[in-house]
């Protein structure tokens, strides 16, 4: 058996798709993309501290860190993109012999592509990403020593508009690898809610939960986040967020009310002057870096 090491650079990261409850989905949609990102990526408040506590988020509306919202997809891999390369080397004793490299981006290198599975349940779908820059490394073994880089094809998985390298084929046969390990530095984070998976029109939720809407407005104002996106464009007004702390009384916030969750009812949700966040659906191709 011959051991082959594969090293990819420069871009990649951790990408997850998971679900939260319907009420959590509406609440964090109201909070906005930038504050939701700060929460699930544990970016903290000021010099530290948990945003759930700092903002006095009710327990039922708190969500875990992004890597735990992964009941649908969890990938940590380099991107299949033209700015990336994968170098292959053969392990010879305690040393490595470089065999060649693949410049990524051409569909000719793709042996198989997997789509993100479509969700049909009752939760709200969340997308989250942690982009990094640096090197990714994995290894695999082949029979004999006749490894030819030109006969390598890649298995990729699609995540929103990204394609990520998740496996290898050599001479048409899949090879099992050890899994990507990265030596990287953080580049950017983002997270958003797929509004198409909300069962209730968000404007109706706002009308039914005035105390929560008031809480969100106070938090957003204290954090320096715009309360509407009236111009109708795709610019994210949430990027320049200050690091304040909201301290609010929550005694007036009601418990969640019962509502229908028929999978057949998926109303159109539009961003309006009353809603602080623009529409973000499964079809979105925006990237956070």
φ, ψ of residue 36 to 5 degrees: the values are -65, -40
pLDDT at 240 over 60: no
**In terms of pTM, does the model score above 0.75?**
no
d(CA 117, CA 128): 16
**CB neighbours (10 Å) of residue 46?**
10
Q: Is residue 220 part of a domain?
A: no
Range of the domain at 117: 1-198
pLDDT at 174 over 70: yes
Q: Is residue 277 part of a domain?
A: no
State mean pLDDT over 92-115. 94
Confidence (pLDDT) at 114: 86
d(CA 212, CA 77): 38
Confidence (pLDDT) at 50: 77
Q: Is residue 283 part of a domain?
A: no
Count of domains forming the chain: 1
Confidence (pLDDT) at 87: 98
Q: Which residues is 86 bridged to in the sheet? A: 8, 102
pLDDT at 257 over 90: no
pLDDT digit string (tens) for 8-27? 998 999 999 999 999 999 99
d(CA 90, CA 99): 7
- Can you read off the two tokens belonging to residue 65? 């860190």
d(CA 33, CA 280): 9
pLDDT at 265 over 70: no
Q: Is residue 203 packed enough to be buried (19+ CB in 10 Å), middle (13-18) or exposed (0-12)?
A: middle
Confidence (pLDDT) at 227: 58
pLDDT at 278 over 70: no
Percent of the chain exceeding pLDDT 90 equals: 63
Lowest mean pLDDT among 10-24, 101-115, 215-229: 215-229
Q: Is residue 123 part of a domain?
A: yes
Query: In which band, very low, low, confident or very high, does the pLDDT at 244 lie, cut at 50, 70 and 90?
Result: very low
φ, ψ of residue 238 to 5 degrees: the values are -90, 0
Q: Is residue 71 part of a domain?
A: yes
pLDDT at 79 over 90: yes
Q: Is residue 79 part of a domain?
A: yes
Q: Cβ contacts of residue 205 below 8 Å, gap of 6+? A: 26, 30
Q: 285 preceded by cis ω (within 30°)?
A: no
Distance from the Cα of residue 78 to its chain's centroid: 14
d(CA 100, CA 183): 21
- Higher model confidence: residue 188 or residue 230? 188
Q: Is residue 260 part of a domain?
A: no
Helix (H) or strand (E) holding 228: none
State mean pLDDT over 183-188. 85
pLDDT at 237 over 70: no
State mean pLDDT over 154-167. 91
Q: Are the C-beta atoms of 181 and 139 separated by less than 8 Å?
A: no
The CA-atom distances, in angstroms, between 259 and each of 24, 163, 187, 188, 213 are: 14, 38, 40, 37, 18
Query: In which band, very low, low, confident or very high, does the pLDDT at 185 lie, cut at 50, 70 and 90?
Result: confident
Distance from the Cα of residue 105 to its chain's centroid: 21
Q: Is residue 188 part of a domain?
A: yes
- Can you read off the two tokens belonging to residue 257? 């009310």
Confidence (pLDDT) at 286: 42
């Amino acid at each position: 058996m011959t051991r082959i090491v594969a090293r990819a650079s420069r871009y990649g990261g951790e990408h997850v798709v998971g679900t939260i409850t319907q009420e959590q989905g509406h609440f964090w949609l109201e909070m906005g993309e930038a504050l939701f990102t700060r929460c699930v990526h544990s970016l903290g408040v000021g010099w530290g501290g948990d945003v759930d506590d700092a903002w006095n988020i009710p327990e039922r509306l708190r969500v875990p860190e992004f890597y735990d919202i992964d009941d649908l997809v969890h990938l940590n891999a380099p991107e299949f993109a033209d700015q990336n390369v994968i170098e292959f080397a053969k392990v010879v004793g305690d040393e490595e012999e470089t065999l060649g490299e693949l410049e990524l981006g051409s569909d000719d290198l793709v042996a198989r592509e997997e789509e993100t599975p479509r969700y049909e349940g009752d939760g709200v779908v969340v997308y989250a990403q942690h982009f990094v820059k640096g090197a990714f490394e994995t290894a695999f073994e082949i029979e004999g020593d006749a490894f030819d880089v030109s006969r390598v094809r890649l298995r990729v998985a699609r995540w929103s508009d990204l394609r990520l390298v998740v496996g290898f084929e050599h001479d048409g046969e899949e090879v099992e690898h050890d899994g990507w390990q990265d030596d990287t530095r953080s580049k950017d984070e983002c997270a958003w809610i797929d509004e198409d998976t909300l069962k209730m029109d968000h404007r109706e939720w706002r009308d039914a939960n005035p105390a929560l809407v008031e809480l969100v407005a106070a938090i957003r104002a204290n954090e320096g986040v715009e309360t509407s996106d009236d111009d109708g464009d795709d610019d994210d007004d949430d990027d320049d967020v200050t690091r304040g702390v909201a301290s609010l009384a929550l005694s007036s916030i009601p418990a969640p009310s019962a509502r229908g969750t028929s999978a057949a009812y998926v109303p159109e949700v539009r961003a309006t002057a009353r809603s602080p966040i623009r529409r973000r659906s499964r079809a979105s191709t925006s990237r956070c870096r």
